[in-house]
Amino acid sequence: MNFGANITATGLQDGFVAKLNGSTGAATWAKKFGGTDYDYGRDVAIDAMGNVHVVGDFSGAFTLASKNLAAAGNSDILLARFDGATGAPNQAARF
């Protein structure tokens, strides 16, 4: 699927999140996240302010929202928030 942006995987598998126009289905923005290992987005939710929240899991290490994330085990949980208007990642945490 073409999201109007060149999204290239950094590693084995990367996660992505995209915002589509509700009327036309055209991509408003698309962002990928992940490092050199396996990275998955498992679920997404939109809050009352329009921010996009993603939960997933990852292995290895990468940087998101200016935060260095490194899996402590084989795979860790990822929580991330993206600005709904621009797609900019503005919060990330691992568990």
Q: What is the pTM of this model?
A: 0.90
- Supply the mean pLDDT for the chain: 92
Query: Who has greater pLDDT, 53 or 27?
Result: 53
CA distances from 91 to 10, 22, 24, 54, 69 (A): 20, 25, 29, 10, 11
Per residue in 53-85, pLDDT (tens digit) is: 999 999 999 999 999 999 998 999 999 999 999
Identify the band that residue 30 occupies on the pLDDT scale cut at 50, 70 and 90: very high
Query: Who has greater pLDDT, 87 or 11?
Result: 87
Beta-carbon neighbour count of residue 13 at 10 Å? 13
Cα 95 from Cα 93, distance rounded (Å): 7
In whole angstroms, how large is the CA radius of gyration of the chain? 13
